[in-house]
Amino acid sequence: MEIKQFVATRAFIIHEGKVLIIRESSHYTKGSHIGEYDFPGGKVHPGETMADGLKREVKEEAGIDVKVGKPFFAAEWSPVINDTILQIFGIFIKCTVEEPEVVLGEDHDDYKWIDPADYKEYPIIAQNIDAFKAYLSIQ
């Protein structure tokens, strides 16, 4: 099986004390977490800064412009998608937004602004659980 490695950023977008989560759609052919909630974000392209990649991904997935803050957590995961192992190094970055009007891209079908302490009430992608815990520990 082929292995591909890359860096991904995840936007922990805070607005009025709530964090944005988005649900993966069943129409997303590259997805492995249909029906689960994630943070906006994704792969950083070669030559792209983490901040620029994160802004691009958030705009594509949620239709909003964010102010990128500082990383607060890093993780690694290895999903298998279409017979390829993806070794992903994920960097979770606190972001803010002035205009929280979300317009989802085609890969997601729902979003919610939730209290970070209530993350257990939602079907959150497993690798994001530790990011919630890390965020809550620094508050």
Answer with the residue of higher pLDDT: 97 or 29: 97
Structure tokens, 13: 């977008």
pLDDT for residue 29 is more than 90: no
User: Three-class SS of residue 61?
Assistant: helix
Specify the pLDDT at position 88: 92
Specify the pLDDT at position 10: 97
User: DSSP assignment of 62-110, as one string?
Assistant: H----EEEEEEEEEEE--EETTEEEEEEEEEEEEE-S-------TTEEE
Q: Are 20 and 62 in contact (CB under 8 A)?
A: yes
Average pLDDT estimate for 41-69: 96
Is the pTM higher than 0.75? The answer reads yes
Number of CB atoms found within 10 A of residue 95's CB:
28
Domains of the chain: 2-137 (3.90.79.10)
